[in-house]
Amino acid sequence: MKPGKLLNVCRSFRSQGDRCLRFARSIGRIDSSMKMRFPLWRYLFETSGCLGSRATVSPQATARFFAPFAALSFPRLTWAEQIMKFESISGNRRSRRQNLPQAAPAIIESLEMRALLAGPQVLTPTGTIADSTPVISWEAVDGAVSYDLWVSDVESREVIFIVSGLGTTNYTSATELHLGRTRIWVQANFADGSTSGWGPLRDVILQTAPTINGPTNVLLPATPFELNDTQPTITWSSPPGARSFEIFVSNQTQRTSTTYRVTNLTPLLDGDGNTIPDGNGDVVREEIRDFELPEELLMGQYRVFIRTTDDAGRVSGWSTAYNFEVVPAVVILRPSGPSFQNPALLEWMAVPGATHYEVWVSKVGSVNEQTAIYNPKYVTATSWQIPRTLATGDYVFWVRAKSCLLYTSDAADE
């Protein structure tokens, strides 16, 4: 082997080049004029392993990866020690084509190399998903005693969660993934304290419709979807990370509809209505999961749908329809208390959206109230005159509003 070639091979080891030459000179394989004395080093630099296919081998094998976010502090890659052993024999046995006897016993040379081990490959989830708490699974790594899991929101550059020391190759978190693009990494830990470094990233997109939870009438558990409130609050649940929500409210009675757009992450206010600063001077914001309708609803049946838009502008599908009825109670005007008018004129306030009213008149008493003295069922005005004089005594009457589609309000009594 020519001295120049050997020198170039040593230099190809980069950071190990000087060490290579010093070692070679120390054992007398290369003299000051760079002449080869023994066939050992010719083999060492031209045979397998470090070196056996005549390929230049770097002492440090590196792998490029995409750093999650510059703004985040991610764990640095950990290099694992690998000891690679190469068996060197005399030049007479370099080739199987020569059958000459072995001139010297085999010599074992150990070369130390640092190499970045490949981290675990994430298996699931993949693609676009609807489950905000999916099972995250990854490939097992030989010799690993535990695994670390790192999950981040790509669009907001937030860490969603980090879990260390997992003893299995799958994990289901109680913490929801954020809407939009999520990035997942896994690294393996070994018994000697080394790690594999973070494996290939896996991006998934969470795109799921909200679930509508209200409004409900908590005072009427038997009929929770019949509301006395004409300006109800719509509530829903949805994973974090929405930019905004679109609320579609349809009046099924009048065949009209209204769409509201609600911005998520609105400023959090204190008791005086002022914004609250965080430690960096920014305004503290909160996720929105309820919306009070700005206008009063007419009596009738309603249907609501909601969908989300994430930080990247992706729009989810519409939620499952949520149905409720607005059936406000009638407000009685008179008579109220003792009355000298006999027969009495019964009066009440109009209910918006009602087409007619039902009236019930009876004597006071639990038994008597079960039997109506008068029960007009289709009163289009907001008053009704009792047709005949009543005997002296205590009486009670109820009024409830109705619509053409037979939606009935709660009765008001006097």
Q: If pLDDT is split at 50, 70 and 90, which confidence band does 113 have?
A: very low
Q: If pLDDT is split at 50, 70 and 90, which confidence band does 241 have?
A: very high
For the cut 60, the answer to whether the pLDDT of residue 26 exceeds it is no
Closest CA to 215 of 297, 284, 109: 297
When the pLDDT of each residue in the chain is averaged and rounded to a whole number, the result is: 76
Q: If pLDDT is split at 50, 70 and 90, which confidence band does 236 have?
A: very high
For the cut 90, the answer to whether the pLDDT of residue 135 exceeds it is yes
Q: If pLDDT is split at 50, 70 and 90, which confidence band does 365 have?
A: confident
Q: Are residues 253 and 200 in the same domain?
A: no
State the CATH number of the domain containing residue 307: 2.60.40.10
Which of residues 190, 206, 222 is at a domain's end?
Answer: 206
Q: Are residues 191 and 228 in the same domain?
A: no
For the cut 60, the answer to whether the pLDDT of residue 144 exceeds it is yes
For the cut 80, the answer to whether the pLDDT of residue 105 exceeds it is no
Q: Which domain holds residue 167?
A: 122-206
Q: With pLDDT > 70 as the criterion, what percentage of the chain qualifies?
A: 69
pLDDT of residue 20: 52
Higher pLDDT, 88 or 245: 245
Q: Are residues 266 and 344 in the same domain?
A: no
- Mean pLDDT of the 320-324 span: 97
Which of residues 65, 86, 115 is at a domain's end?
Answer: 115
Q: If pLDDT is split at 50, 70 and 90, which confidence band does 78 have?
A: very low
Closest CA to 284 of 268, 265, 264, 263: 268
- Number of domain units in the chain: 4
For the cut 80, the answer to whether the pLDDT of residue 352 exceeds it is yes
For the cut 50, the answer to whether the pLDDT of residue 33 exceeds it is no
Higher pLDDT, 10 or 89: 10
Q: Of 161-175, 198-212, 289-303, 400-414, which gets the smallest average pLDDT?
A: 400-414
Q: If pLDDT is split at 50, 70 and 90, which confidence band does 284 have?
A: confident
State the CATH number of the domain containing residue 375: 2.60.40
pLDDT of residue 257: 96
Q: Of 11-15, 106-110, 126-130, 360-364, which gets the smallest average pLDDT?
A: 106-110
Q: If pLDDT is split at 50, 70 and 90, which confidence band does 82 have?
A: very low
Q: If pLDDT is split at 50, 70 and 90, which confidence band does 18 have?
A: low
Which of residues 90, 115, 140 is at a domain's end?
Answer: 115
- Mean pLDDT of the 219-241 span: 93
Q: If pLDDT is split at 50, 70 and 90, which confidence band does 338 have?
A: confident
- Mean pLDDT of the 49-55 span: 35
Q: Are residues 222 and 271 in the same domain?
A: yes
Q: Are residues 320 and 365 in the same domain?
A: no
Q: Are residues 109 and 9 in the same domain?
A: yes
For the cut 50, the answer to whether the pLDDT of residue 342 exceeds it is yes
Q: Are residues 251 and 304 in the same domain?
A: yes
For the cut 60, the answer to whether the pLDDT of residue 79 exceeds it is no
